[in-house]
Amino acid sequence: MAQAHSHSHSHDHGHHDQESLKQFGFWLFMITDVILFATLFATFIVLRDNTASGPVGADLIEMNGIIISTFILLTSSFTSGLALLSMNKGDKRGLILWLAVSALLGLSFIYLEVNEFIHLVHEGAKISTSAYWSAFYTLVGTHGLHVSIGIVWMTAIIIQLAKRGITPVTKRKVNIISLYWHFLDAVWIFVFSLVYLMEVM
C-alpha cells in the first residue's frame, strides 16, 4: 500500500511492467483454454451423428431457456466492461456494484444451465446415453464449470476490493477477471451457434 502511494506519481510505469506481464501471463492461459475448447468442439462436431438410436438435442432442447441464458451472459459481459470503466474513473462503489451484477447474472446463467441439464436427464439424455450426449455434456459442462469458477473468483475480488480499495494489484485482478468473463461469453457464442442453433435448425 505504502509503495503504491509513494509511487503514485510514476506508478503507472513502475507497476506497469510487472502487472502487465502478469496480465499477459493470464492471456497465455486463455490461449491454452481456447485449444482445450477446440478439442471439445471438434469432439462434439465429429460425434453429433452418433446417437445410438437415442434421443437427440433437437427433440429435447428447449430454445427459450437457451435464448434467455445467451442474453444473460451477453449482458454480464457488458456489465463487467462497465465495472472496468468505473475502475478507470476511480469509482470503487461503481466497480463493486457492476462486478456484483456480473456475478449475479453469471449465477442465473448457471442456474438455468443446471435446470436444463436436469430436464435433459429426466427426458432420458444422460451422459452415458450416447456419444452425442457425452460430447454435449462435456463441452457445455466445461463451459459451465468455467463460469462457476469465474463467479467464485469474482466474489473473492469483490471482497478484496472492499477491503483494500483500488490499488495497482486489485486493478490488475479486475482487468484479468473482466478479460476472462469476455472470453467465456465468446466461447458461449460458439456453444450457442454450433451446438444449439445447428441442432434445432
Partner 1 sequence: MASQNQSHEETGHTHGSLKSYIIGFVLSIILTIIPLVAVLNDLFNRSTTIAVILVTAALQFLVQLIFFMHIREEDKPRYNLISLIFAVLILLTIVIGSIWIMTYNKVAI
Direct distance between the N- and C-terminal alpha carbons of the chain, in angstroms, rounded to an integer: 56
Burial bucket for residue 120 (CB in 10 Å: 0-12, 13-18, 19+): buried
Interface of this chain with partner 1, residues 121 to 140, rule: CB under 8 A: none
Radius of gyration of the chain (CA): 20
Q: Residue 101 CB: number of other CB atoms within 10 A?
A: 17
Check residue 185 for interaction with partner 1 (CB under 8 A): yes
Q: What is the closest distance, in whole angstroms, from the C-beta atom of residue 82 to partner 1 in the complex?
A: 7
Strands of 47-171, DSSP E: none
- Does position 67 interact with partner 1 (CB under 8 A)? The reply is yes
Q: Is 9 in the site for partner 1 (CB under 8 A)?
A: no
Spatial CA neighbour of 23 closest among 201, 199, 171: 171
Among 81-89, 101-109, 123-131, 161-169, which window interacts with partner 1 (CB under 8 A)?
Answer: 81-89
Q: Does 197 bind partner 1 (CB under 8 A)?
A: yes
Find all residues with CB under 8 Å of 89, minimum gap 6, and list them: none
CB of 17 to partner 1, least distance (A): 12
- What's the rounded Cα separation, in Å, for the pair 30 and 35? 9
Residue from the set 4, 60, 82, 97 that interacts with partner 1 by CB under 8 A: 82
Of 1, 2, 17, 24, the one binding partner 1 by CB under 8 A: 24
Q: With binding defined as CB under 8 A, does residue 169 bind partner 1?
A: no
Helix, strand, coil % in the chain, rounded to nearest 5: 85, 0, 15
| Beta strands per DSSP E along the chain | none
39 binds partner 1 (CB under 8 A): yes
Q: Is 97 in the site for partner 1 (CB under 8 A)?
A: no
Interface residues toward partner 1, by CB under 8 A: 12-13, 24, 27-28, 31, 34-35, 37-39, 41-43, 45-46, 49, 63, 67, 70-71, 74-75, 77-78, 81-82, 84-85, 88, 175, 179, 182-183, 185-186, 189-190, 192-194, 197-198, 200-201
